[in-house]
Chain A
Amino acid sequence: MSRGQTVTEVQETQIDVTGGSSSSAYGIYALGGNWQGSETLELRNVRINTASSSQGVGVLLEADTSVALFSVTQ
């Protein structure tokens, strides 16, 4: 079975993460995919707040995943 990206789109969604000093908190935790670099993760109107903890993570994607920001013309 070939594996692809774990998350395809997140739209109009709010993520608030406030973990404590001894906790690990993740809004979206996505691992174990096999991103090749040609997939599209569509984020639209997504608000992510992570506060008060070094272990509070809004969105965690697997290692070596890069998120690039491009201007989009519609």
Chain B
Amino acid sequence: MSKTKMLTIVFACILFSSSVASAQIRTVLVSPVPGDPIASGTNLRNALANIPSPSSTNRWLLKIEPGIYQLQGTALQMRPWVDIEGSGIGVTTIRLSSPTDPFNATISGTSDAELRLLTVEATENSTAMSNNNVHPRIYRVKFVAEGLARRFGMENILSAPRIEECEFIVFLPPSAFGPTFGFGISFDQLPTGVRSSILRSRITVSGGKHKLRYPHV
């Protein structure tokens, strides 16, 4: 076999193997139910749950179309090896209603997965995103927390997220019945050997003006 022919075969093998590798990333598209954010939220939860056996060699992308996706009860638990991608900040919005526990997060992160290009809101619950012993990547996500007296844009326990180009807005209510607490990003413990990064982001915590419970007029 000539040297040229041999090189051609090797090159073709490399091309073929790279196309096989890229083909292993599968995409699931989630669409909203027009005029029904709760049904849209159910669609989102089911789509993520139904992805079969994601792994390092079987990676998936959950692509979410524009719309409001209102989850009910509990957080959307991300899955390893499944990236979740919206259609843009303010274009795809995920929120939680009727939380089973007021301290439930809207989204719960995981390692080996990225959350990107969407808005996550906590309006009836305390926390937009929580990470517990995981190290997720977050890119171009806007977190809004304006639910309870104790609010978190992102709460990390034993977790080291990589946060890039994100915005955190925590708005504290007028406190008529006691003090309020707002945290843009909180960290609680971290094992050695992992890095938590906040890059090119903006964190805004505001509000909480005192409001008299029994104002004298």
Asked whether A and B interact, the reply is yes
Which residues of A are in contact with B by a Cβ distance under 8 Å? 1-33, 53, 56
Given contacts A8-B160, A8-B197, contact A3 B172 (CB under 8 A): no
Please give, as numbers and ranges, the residues of chain A lying within 8 Å of B187 by CB-CB distance. Answer: 6-7, 28-33
Known contacts A17-B206, A22-B208; is A2 also within 8 Å of B175 by CB? Answer: no
Given A7-B198, A10-B198, A33-B187, A23-B192 contact (CB < 8 Å): no
Residue of B174, B205, B207 ringed by the most chain A CB atoms within 10 A: B205
Once bound together, how far apart are the Cα atoms of A5 and B197, in whole Å?
Answer: 12
Give the distance in Å from the alpha carbon of A29 to the alpha carbon of B178 in the complex: 21
- Please measure, in the bound complex, the distance between the C-alpha atom of A21 and the C-alpha atom of B191, giving whole angstroms: 35
Q: Contact: B203 with A6, CB < 8 Å?
A: no
Residues of chain A lying within 8 A (CB to CB) of residue B174:
20
**Closest chain B CB from A64 CB (angstroms):** 16
- The verdict on B182 contacting chain A, using a C-beta distance below 8 Å, is yes
| Other contacts beyond A4-B194, A16-B204, A24-B181: 13, CB < 8 A | A3-B189, A11-B200, A16-B203, A16-B206, A17-B205, A20-B174, A24-B180, A24-B182, A26-B184, A28-B185, A30-B188, A33-B190, A53-B208
Question: In the complex the two chains form, what is the Cα distance from A10 to B75 in whole Å?
Answer: 27
Q: How large is the interface on B (under 10, 10 to 19, 20 to 34, 35 or more residues)?
A: 35 or more
Nearest to B149 among chain A residues (CB) is A23
CB of A25 within 8 A of CB of B198, answer: no
Given A7-B187, A19-B208, A22-B210: A12 and B200 within 8 A (CB)?
yes
Residues of B within 8 A of A (CB): 156, 160, 170, 172, 174-175, 178-210
Q: List 5 A-B contacts (CB under 8 A).
A: A2-B191, A19-B207, A21-B208, A26-B182, A53-B208
B206: A residues at CB distance < 8 A: 16-19, 25
Which residues of chain B are within 8 angstroms of A12 by Cβ–Cβ distance? 199-201
Chain A residues whose C-beta falls within 8 Å of the C-beta of B186 in the assembled complex: 26, 28-31
CB pair B175 A23 closer than 8 Å: yes
Contact B201 A29 (CB under 8 A): no
B210 touches A21 (CB 8 A): yes
Q: Decide yes or no: A22 and B180 within 8 Å by CB, A6-B187, A17-B205, A30-B187 being known contacts.
A: yes
Q: How far is the CA of A53 from the CA of B184 in the complex (A)?
A: 16
